[in-house]
Amino acid sequence: FIASGWGVRNPYVAGADAQGNLLLTWEERDSASGGLGRVQARRLHAGLNQWRSITAVATGAGTDHRSPIAAVAPDGSGTVVFRNQVSGGGGAANFR
C-alpha cells in the first residue's frame, strides 16, 4: 500500500522528475491526535524501484494541517505546501 490509515484524503501526485522519481502527498486524520489532520508524503525512488518511507510533513498534534499541494523540480527535489486549519496560516516542507 502506498498509504493506509484512518481517513486518508486528497491524495495528490506532484509529478515526476526526468529520472521517473515520484512525490505523492495526502491528508490523513490523525487518530492519536483526536482526528486532527496531518499531511504526509511518500517518494518513489525510480533507480531502486522502491517506495521510500512515509514522511510526516506536518503532524496533527495540537493543530489541524490540511490541503497539501506539492511540486517536483527537474532534479528530483520537491516542495509541499499546506494550510493550518486552526490558525489559517500556511506551512511548507522540502524534499531532496
Each residue of 54-96: pLDDT tens digit?
A: 777 877 777 888 888 888 888 878 888 988 888 888 988 887 7
Backbone φ and ψ for 32, nearest 5 degrees, come out as -75, -15
22-30 vs 9-16, strand pairing mode: antiparallel
Q: What is the pLDDT of residue 1?
A: 53
And the C-alpha cell for 26?
495526502
CA distances from residue 40 to 17, 18, 34, 70, 91 in whole angstroms, order as listed: 20, 23, 17, 11, 13
